[in-house]
Each structure stands twice: as structure tokens, then as C-alpha cells.
Structure 1
Amino acid sequence: MISAHSLSHQYSAPVGKTASQRQDAAAGTAYLLLAASAALVGGGVSVLAGMGMLPATGLWGRLAQAHPALMLLYVVVPALVSGFGTLWLPRALGRGSMLLGRLNLAAVGVFALAAVLTCTLPDARIAHILWSLGALMSAMVLLSTIFDSCADSLEQTSFSPFVWGEMLSAAVLLLSVPVFAASTLRTWLWPATNPVIGAEYFAAPIGLIVLLAGFGIVFEMAARIGQVKTRPVAYIMAATAASGVVAWAKSSLAHGADSQTAQMVGNSLLALCSLSAVCLAGLWLAGTWKARVSLRTPLLWGLGFLAVVAGGWVVQLVQGTGLHPALQLGALYAVCGGFYLWRGEACGFWYPQKLARLHFVLTAAATLCLFVSGMQVLGCALFGMAALVFVLAAVISFQRDIPVVTGHANVAASAAGGSAP
């Protein structure tokens, strides 16, 4: 297997991009835009609902109903797996582009259509089927690219934690999405005996994906400042993915007399995720403990991801619940940190550092407010402000489009009122 390299590198202007590379850039950017749109719509609905400003009827009512699906299905998978996978895997695998580029673009279109139907149709089952199709197409693109790189490799060296996270997340999708689609079809074909299921049904696999892909991105954020042994990280991720999918399938398909068994298996899955999160966080901290850490913007989000996941684990031990919501909230930190890492260090373009750090501060404050009694409304308002700051920072970055050289002073960036990432 070809070694995966860090995304942090001295920027050089792209010269002579091939059609496949332009296709990958378009698909990856489209995935991120879809995830950002779903997060803004879903987050906006959550903020307005938390402040009591959301009507319960009409389009607003449908958006409120679609909020869980938007956050679970259209943020985590399009961003953490499909988007960052499409944009980063070719570089990490040492190849020019992704395989099956047209299938990847088709998956973007299927995801987008499913998101529109989720927001507009009162019955989201057809949207769930389309989403399942898009997820399977995207997973096949990622896995075929990784396995093709293995087959073409002349030397057997290890993947980075990022590549392991993407590969195992795609495998989780490939194994669990058919169960989700089949369960949705079952409620459609035999409605009298099967209750309608929603996006919450798929919350456990989404939690696994956040754990695997999220930690892969977090390890990539710290690639320059610490040395982490890949083998134990890969073992933990692989064991978590394999046993997690089996446990979820067993608990989701159990009925009647097996309900106690399903509950026990579900609790075991949570315990496994908790243990995996602690082990991966420990390996990350051990790899960076002795390094001279420079708190770059992506690393701040990585630390936030670790703090949220660790907090969820503690709450899970004390109250018996809390890890799944923490993993879902941790996805926000992984996506935002991944965006700044992609824009600033993978692409080599300037973004406003002060706005990016303000975005993190507001998000962290909002997260704390969610766990304090009586502060939830303030937390929703802070999340709304954080979203506006993120949009402003992204718009300014893309509008100015100033290339930077990592580790060197950049006159153009300074003149524009910012600093290198």
C-alpha cells in the first residue's frame, strides 16, 4: 500500500490540471457545498425553533420535520466521507485523480435531489431511498480508488490514519446503507406491520462514521506537529468499524422477544464507541504531547472535536446517554476544521484568521450553553452567529482567492488584512 502523506505542504500553483482532476475538484467542492447548505438550513431551523420563532405549518414545518435528516444524512456523509475523500484521497494515495469520476458526480446529483425531496415532501421515504443510492455510489468510488492504489503499488507501506478513516467509513456505508434502505422499503410495502422509520434509525452508523472519519481528519490536522504510530490507530478503527456494523445490524433487525437482546447489543455498541474514542484520543495526545504545538486554526477545531467526544463519553458513563449526541456535535467540529485545513493548507489559499478563530470561539461557547440548564436559547443564538461568521469567512476567502506559502510571510495576505493559515 502506498504511504499517505500529510496535506500540509508548501503551496505551489496548480499547473496543467487534467480533466479528471478538474472533475474531482468540482465533485468534492459540490459535496462540501451540499453539506454546508444542509448544515445552514438545518442549523437555522434549530436556532429559530429553539428561540420560538419557527411556525409549525407550511414549508417551515416541513423543514423542522426534516431537521434530523439534514444534520444526520446530508452533513456527515457528504462532507466527512464523500467531500474530503474526493478532495484529499488522490494526494494521500499518490495518484492523479479518483476512479469513477462520472459516478462520483452522479452521486452528488442524487444526494442533492434527495436533500430537496427531504425538505419538500411530507413523506421522506423516497428521499431516504435516493440518499441510500447516493451513499452507495460514493462509497464504491472511494473504495475502488483505494483498492486500485493497493493493486498498483510496488511497495507495501502503511496508509495514514486519514486514509484508514475514509476507507473504513466507506465500508461502514457499504454494509449498513442496504439495511437502512431495506427497512425503509419494508415500511412502504407492509405499512400495517412495520412502523415508519426516520433518519434517527441510521444514527448509530452515522456515529461510527463520525468517529472513524472525524478522527482521521483530526490526526491529519496534527500531522506536522506530532508523530503518531499508524498501526494501533488502524487496528482500533478496523475493530470499531467491524464490530459496530454487526452490532447495529443485529439490534436494528431484532423484534419481539429479541428486544432485550437488541437493547443489550445497542449498549455494547455504545461502550465500544466510548472505548474507541478514548483510545484514539489517547494516541493523538501521546503523539503530540512532546511536540511544540502551534495552535493553527484547524488544530483548534481538532481539539474541540476531542473535547466534545470526551465530554460525551463522560456523560455516557454518568447518565447512560450522551455519546451519540456528542459524536453528532463532534461532526460539526470535524467538518469546520477540515474545511480550514483544506482551504488553507491543502489548497494553499488565504482565509481571514480572526474570523476563523471567532467562528471557533462562538461554536465552543454555544456548545457549552447546550449543556447548561436554561442556556439552550442562548446556545442556539450563538450557533446562528457562528454560522454567519463562517459564511462571511468563506465568502471573503473565495472572493479574494489569495495564494499563500505556508511557513513564509505573505505580502499579499498581509496587505489584504490577514495572515497565512
Structure 2
Amino acid sequence: MKGSLGLLRERRFLPLFITQFLGAFNDNLFKNAMVFFATYEIYNSVEAETQFSAVATGIFILPFFLLSALAGQLADSYDKARIMRIIKFAEICIMLVGAAGIFFKSIEMMLAALVGMGIHSTFFGPIKYAVLPQHLQPREVLAGTGLVEAGTYVAILCGTIAGGLISPNAAAIAVLVVAATGWVASLNIPSAPPAAKLDLDYNIFRASYRLIYGTLHIRRLFLAIMSISVFWTIAAILGVLFPPLVKNVFHAQKDVASVFLAIFSVGIAIGSIVINRLLKGRISARYSPASVLVMSLFVVDFYFAAAFWGADQAGPLLKTMDFLGTPGAWRILFDLGMIAITGGMFVVPLYAFLTTTVDKSQTSRTVAANNIVNSAFMVVGSVGILGVTTLGVGVAEALWVVFGLCLLSAWCGFQLYRAGDVPHDDEEGHVPHAGGH
């Protein structure tokens, strides 16, 4: 099996990696610059800050729910590389609106651009995983999936830090430069022609129903999609909670919120690499239940560290170095890092299940079906946690919802492991598919 990092020297992988890396970076640079601007310069109550964070998360996710079926059909019907180039050019246009919104401090324009980036990611998401079995050997798919996940979260790390540190005007320029660079990188992605041309169904609700129904009847896919969906619900809830948690519980400035999101991002990247080493390229849920159970323990410790946080709440908001000098800060950061590492170990093999359980002609639609279910779970999670905090539950106490979802994830992962690994046929050089629609 080719080492994971060895794929970064291959033209069949590197341009795709760079393209998706820059897309994830731009999403998070823009979103975090907008959320931090609203949290620290517009709103002045934990309820309003949590509400805006939830709304921003929800409208970014909504296109995944509505348009993923169409995105999957298009990706399986046309050359995936050509579609990626079109999508990346559209990102430049979207970021023109976003840059104007940042420059003029217009929440309406920034939210419109955020919706546009959600649509952009909806159409790009199925392709970045579905193209891997087309360009990589069977034993390279898990390594490629792990690198894509790791790259995504390193990009989130960089975008999160940049969104919290650079000025609004610098962010407006940066999102345009990154979008243009991503489009240039996409021009070098090798062709990935479709296996068959589909009759596109433009009725998004009927297409979504048929896609989900045709995918979830395969037991391994059902369990993998449920496991991934619960995990991303956890991530969405943590994303909603972090800004108000940092400001109102840890009494810290937005650069500390950037540190939280950055540690979460790089932790998942580390977990992605670790699980590939443990599994040695085999697509298996063997370690998933244990990973997420360990994750739940660190969630509990993170809650108690927050609940008994002893910093002075009367003074000015803490800067990063002041926060790090506060007793208990390193315990919080360690818990957060371990939550992310074990989360990465849990979720990466599950994406490999999606792209290797079905025939290559169906991979984009399979990932699209996953995105529809994921987005529905994430919207429910974002709205649900908003409802919980509106009812008077503190942002720290809301972490118990995350703990409960960790247990649900462990159960789903265990059921997937019992359903069996994806078999490899080394002599034939392909992964058998499970059939299905």
C-alpha cells in the first residue's frame, strides 16, 4: 500500500487535495470572520450570540439538505473534474458578494454569501470523496480519504485562525484570492468521466426521497450514514456553542474562540492519520465504537472543567496568553484536543465505507445521500441546541447533549462493525460492491 503522504506526490491526488483544502479554508475564513464580527461587535447577550451562531450554521447547512440529490446526479452523469472547475469558478463570484459584505459590514450580504458557499459546498462535497475510488487503487482509498479529512481540518484550522485574527478588510481580500487560487488548482485535476449518463430529476424533493430510499436499504451504508450523521450533529452543536461558551463562561476574547476551533480542527486531522495507521488501509469500523466512547469521557471532563471555571468574570475579556495562564486552561485544551482526535478516528473509516460499498458509478449519489441525512441531523442539532439554551439551560450544561450523542454514535459504530468490513480483492484489484440503487 502506498503511504498516505506519498499520495501528495501524485497528480491524480494532489490537485484535488489542494482544491478541497482551499475551499474548506475559504468557507471557514469567511464564516468565522462573520460570526466573530457579529458576536463581538454587534450583539451583547448570550441569547442573541447563540441565536446568530445557530442561524449562520443552519443557513450554511440548508443547501445540503435541499440540493444534494441533484448534486449527486450531476456528479455521476458528467466528468467530475469538469464539474469541480465550474464549482470553483462559481466560488469566485460568491466571494465577490461576501467580500462586499465584509467591507461594508453588511450582515445581509454576508449571510447571502454564506448561503452561496453552502450551495458551493453541496455540489463539491459528493465529488471530493466519490472521485477517490476512480483515481486511486483500492488499498489507497482509506489513505486518500484520511488525507482529505485531515486536509479539510487543517484548512478549517487555518481558516478559523485567520477569521479570528485578520481585519475585516484583509478578510475581504483574502477570500477572493483563495477562491481564485482554488479555481487554478482545479484546472490540474485529471479527468474523471462518468460510468453512465443519468436522466436528471430536477424535482429536488422527489429526487432526495428516491436517493435516500435507494441508498439506505444497504445495511452497511445505512449504519455508516447514521453514524456519520450523529457525529456531525455533535460537531455542529459544538460549533454553535464555542463562541458564546468562550465569551460567557471562560470570559475570553474571540482569539480564544479561534484557538478552541483550531484545536478541534487539528485534532480531527491527527485522528484521521492515526486511524489510517491502525487499520493499515483496511476499511473497518473496528475502532469506531471505542473511539467515540473515549470521546464521551473527555466531553464529560470538559463539562466539569467549564462548570468549575474559576476565572474572574468582572474584569475585561481575557486575551489568549492571559487565558492560557489561568488555572485549568490547559486541562480544557487537552480535553478539547482529545475530543477531536477520537472524533477523527471515529468518522474517517465511515466515509471510506460510503465510497467502496457501492459501484463507482454510484459513489457521488451515495455521498450525496449521506450529505442529505447529515444536513438534516445537523440542522435539527443546531436548532435543538438553540431551543435548549433558550429554555434557560446554560451553554456549559448543553454539553450533556453532546455526551448523549456520543453514546448514540458508539451504538451505531458497533452495529456497523458487526455488519462486517468492506472486503478487498487484491488479486482482482477492485473492491466488490454491494449493489443497490
User: With structure 2 as the length reference, what TM-score do the two structures score?
Assistant: 0.29
Larger relative contact order (CA 8 Å, sep ≥ 6): 2
